[in-house]
Amino acid sequence: MKKRILIIGASGQIGTELTLYLRNIYGHNKVIASDIAEASAALMESGPFEILDAMDYDAIQDIVIGYEITDVYLMAAMLSATSEKFPMKAWDLNMTSLFNVLNLAKDGKIDKIFWPSSIAVFGPTTPKRDTPQRTVMEPSTVYGISKQTGERWCEYFNKRYGVDVRSLRYPGLISYKTQPGGGTTDYAIDIYHKALKHNKYISFLKEGTKLPMMFMDDAIRATVNIMLAASDDVKIRNSYNLSAMSFAPEEITASIQKHIPEFTIEYESDFRQAIADSWPQTIDDTAARQDWGWEDEVDLDEMTKIMIKNLKDV
């Protein structure tokens, strides 16, 4: 059967790059981008775009039927820092949108779903180093609670109804093409912008706050690869741990100073410190490597080189 893809939340940080990547693989008209907000000109001009509310089951169904969609990537969500400001709205969006696509698959209207989870599923009682695939999970943020609950529902729909849903626990994702959407790891993007503009950055996380991170290209490859994997190889149907690098603000600073020696950092932590403190420092992603061949490619210094080169011209 011919593959036709719908991306919900395509105008965001990940959706933008994912849409362009998938259009290069499957053909521009085979990948339908959608969001409640318009996307960048590059994305809008590269193929079909629909205004679509992820909360509206009937509207999603109309697009799925109209375009004969086979696969849905659900990228619409409220992220960690914003969710702490609007807990009920976050819960509503993050859960209703997931139920909408899970039910479409259960009713046989789509074949396959990608839904991203996050390292936020872990909490203060989780082992912080080499956090295992299966471990204590007591998330303390509304975002983490919504992601952990989502994981349970993904596994339930897979086991009970045979829904082919695949998921990754993304770490903080770093990119230069689109602005981040209100997460706790956003500092690791902003720091590059500020380093180039002002030679100085005021960090909302304290020195020593080590968090798992990944360059966007690696995350997009992981996303596409888990969707291409044979169904039997995707053994975990809640969500896979995924890892590339971990660093604290002073380590990314040192990496930037290799290119901009006069760059300095100061620390003024805010409410996001408590969110970061509840998350793991490093992640064990052996299961993803063994089951469907995940391999990361970009480390901190390589990422810094790419970020500085591309942001210099902006």
Report the catalytic residues: 143
Query: How far, rounded to the nearest angstrom, does the alpha carbon of residue 240 sit from its chain's CA centroid?
Result: 12
**Among the listed residues 248, 161, 180, 171, the one whose alpha carbon sits nearest the alpha carbon of residue 210:** 248
Asked if residue 170 binds ligand NAD (CB under 6 A), the reply is yes
Whole-number minimum distance, CB 211 to ligand NAD, in Å? 10
Buried/exposed 218-228: b ≥16 CB within 10 Å, e otherwise: bbbbbbbebbe
Q: Which stretch binds ligand NAD (CB under 6 A): 20-28, 63-71, 72-80, 251-259?
A: 72-80
- The set of residues, in sequence order, having a beta carbon less than 8 Å from that of 257 and lying 6+ positions away, is 263
State the Cα–Cα distance between residues 42 and 10, nearest whole angstrom.
12
Could you give the string, one character per residue 92-131, with x where binding to ligand NAD holds by CB under 6 A and - elsewhere?
Answer: -x----------------------x-x-------------
State the Cα–Cα distance between residues 125 and 144, nearest whole angstrom.
13
Helix (H, G, I), strand (E, B) or coil at 237: coil
Q: Indicate which single residue of 1, 37, 88, 230 sits in contact with ligand NAD (rule: CB under 6 A).
A: 37
Asked if residue 187 binds ligand NAD (CB under 6 A), the reply is no
Strands 200-203 and 117-118: unpaired
Q: Which stretch binds ligand NAD (CB under 6 A): 75-83, 106-114, 129-137, 268-276?
A: 75-83
> Looking at residue 200, what DSSP letter applies?
E
Q: Indicate which single residue of 12, 139, 212, 280 sits in contact with ligand NAD (rule: CB under 6 A).
A: 12
Q: Indicate which single residue of 20, 22, 76, 142 sits in contact with ligand NAD (rule: CB under 6 A).
A: 76
Which residues are at the interface with ligand NAD (CB under 6 A)? 8-9, 11-15, 35-37, 52-55, 75-77, 79, 93, 116, 118, 170, 172-173, 180-183, 185
